[in-house]
């Protein structure tokens, strides 16, 4: 049976934070949100990026590797769980080890917290809350074959940090290399066949990107 997992496509994210709101509805974290949405640089663009746990597969999840008390357990289907409250000693090794900046340390609870892919829902064949509600399906849950049949973009699950690469259960979606539309050609055509003669075209307003 194909493995269902999460696909993250930041180009579709509209920054609505429905995932954050819905994550709080999940039984496994009871009112706390384990997904983050951030503006990449609001001073430049409205682009936003959702961050979820990538559930590293190979090498074994760095957060679990550095845990001195083996509090971070991994299920047989590759879901990296949050720290087991009975084991976690609050050392925060995992927070520093994660290459994606996902685990958060809850000072009050003295416990590392992170996404466990809504294990209570996915184990019952429901989608994780974030992908369930995502209005644009920037967060999408399903298997790889379904994804590439339905959607544009390249799904990749290998992230390189310098010389080291991490293969993750969760996929990031990159845009198509060749845009569908040759916009430059369309604008050139508009200029060439425009009603006015060539050479005396007013310049585009400088601020238009």
Partner 1 sequence: MSVNKDFFQPERDFNYDFQSTGKPPTGWSEAARVPETLVPTHCCFCGVQCGMFLRVANGKVIGVEARDFPHNRGSLCPKGVVAYQQVDHPDRLRYPMIRRGGKTGELERATWDEAMDYIVSRWKQIQAEHGNDAVAVYSGSSMTNEKCYVMGKFARVALRSRNIDYNGRLCMSSSAVAYARAFGIDRAPLPMTDIPLTHCMLAVGVNIAECFPIVMQWVWRARDKGAHLIVIDPRETPLARTADLWLPVRPGTDEAVINAMLRQVIVDGLVDEVYLKERTNGWEEVRAAVEPFTPEEAQWLSGVPAERIVAAARLYGRAATSLIMHGKGIEHSSHGVDSCLACINLALARGQVGKPGGGTMMITGQGNGQGGREVGQKANQLPGYRHIDVPEERQYIADFWGIPVEELPWEGAAAPEMIHLMNDGEIKSCLIACSNLMVSLPENEVVKRALQRVDPLIVVDFFLSETAELADVVLPGTVWCEDEGTTTNLEGRVIKINRAADPPGESREDWRIVTELAQRLGRGQFFPYQSAREIWDELRNASRGGKSDYYGITWEKIDEQGGVFWPCPSLDHPGSPRLFTEHFGHPDGKAKMFPIPYKPPAEEPGKDYPFRLTSGRVVYHYLTGNQTRRLGFLNSQAPEPWVEIHPQAAARLGIVTDEVVRVRTPRHSMELKALVVPTIRPDTLFIPYHYGHEHSVNQLTNPAVEPNVKIPEYKACAATVEKLSAPAAPSGPGDVTINFTPENAPKMFPYEVGETKEQPEKESKTF
Contacts with partner 1 by CB under 8 A lie at: 11-18, 20-22, 24-25, 27, 30-33, 36-39, 42-48, 104, 106, 113, 126-127, 132-137, 150-152, 180-181, 183, 186-187, 189-191, 193-196, 201-202, 204-205, 207-209
Closest separation in Å from C-beta 39 to partner 1: 5
Closest separation in Å from C-beta 130 to partner 1: 10
Integer Cα distance of 126 and 122 in angstroms: 5
Integer Cα distance of 168 and 93 in angstroms: 20
Nearer of residues 160 and 190 to partner 1, judged by Cβ:
190
- Pairing of β 48-51 and β 139-142: unpaired
Measured CA distances, 40 to 44, 106, 130 (Å): 9, 24, 19
Pick from 114, 65, 71, 118: which is nearest to 90 by CA?
71
Closest separation in Å from C-beta 109 to partner 1: 9
Closest separation in Å from C-beta 74 to partner 1: 23
Nearer of residues 167 and 191 to partner 1, judged by Cβ:
191
CB atoms within 10 A of CB 140: 23
């Amino acid at each position: 049976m194909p493995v269902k997992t999460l696909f993250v496509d930041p180009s579709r994210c509209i920054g609505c934070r429905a995932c954050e709101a819905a994550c709080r509805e999940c039984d496994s974290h009871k009112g706390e949100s384990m997904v983050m949405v951030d503006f990449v640089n609001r001073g430049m663009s409205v682009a936003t990026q959702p961050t979820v746990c990538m559930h590293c597969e190979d090498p074994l999840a760095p957060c679990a590797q550095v845990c001195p008390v083996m509090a971070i357990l991994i299920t047989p289907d590759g879901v990296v769980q949050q720290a087991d409250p009975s084991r976690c000693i609050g050392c925060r090794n995992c927070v520093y080890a994660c290459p994606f900046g996902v685990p958060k340390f809850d000072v009050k609870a003295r416990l590392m917290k992170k996404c466990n892919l809504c294990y209570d829902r996915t184990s019952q064949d429901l989608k994780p809350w974030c992908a369930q509600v995502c209005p644009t399906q920037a967060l999408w849950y399903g298997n790889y074959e379904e994804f590439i049949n339905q959607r544009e973009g390249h799904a990749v699950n290998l992230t390189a940090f310098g010389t080291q690469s991490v293969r993750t259960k969760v996929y990031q979606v990159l845009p198509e290399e060749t845009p569908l539309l040759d916009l430059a050609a369309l604008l050139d055509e508009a200029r060439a066949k425009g009603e006015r003669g060539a050479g005396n075209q007013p310049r585009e307003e400088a601020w238009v990107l």
